[in-house]
Amino acid sequence: MVILKCPVCGGDVSVEDDALPGELVEHECGAQLEIIKQNNRLNLRLAEEVGEDWGE
């Protein structure tokens, strides 16, 4: 597991070592977060809201 920081509340968020960018994580503070890769390391950002063009 990797411990990352929630960009909203600063709390700890654990994700799998082999997590892929684009994976969504719900944090206990209520934020929906998205895993990203920056400089070859996993990180978190606030997930994008549902877009008008989203769907099947």
Partner 1 sequence: MRIGLLYDILRWEEKNLVEESKKLGFKLYPLYTKDTVFFSNELKLNEDIDIFLQRNVSHNRALVTSFIIEQMGYHVINDYNNLILCENKIFTTYLLSKHNINVPKTYVAFNRISALEYAKKLGFPVVVKPVEGSWGRMVAKADNADTLYSYLEYQEFTNQKYKDIFYVQEFINKPNRDIRVFVIGDEVPVGIYRVNEGNWRTNTALGAKALPLKIDEEIREIALKVQKIVGGFFLGIDVFEDKERGYIVDEVNGVPEYKNTVRVNNFNLSEFLLKKIAEWVKR
Site mask for partner 1 (CB under 8 A), range 1-40, x = bound: -------------------xxxxx---------x-xx---
Judged by beta carbon, residue 10 or residue 53, the one nearer partner 1 is: 53
State the DSSP code for 25: E
Closest separation in Å from C-beta 48 to partner 1 = 8
Closest separation in Å from C-beta 42 to partner 1 = 12
Measure the CA–CA gap between 47 and 34, rounded to whole angstroms: 5
Quick one: which of 49, 24, 20, 25 has its CA closest to 37?
A: 20
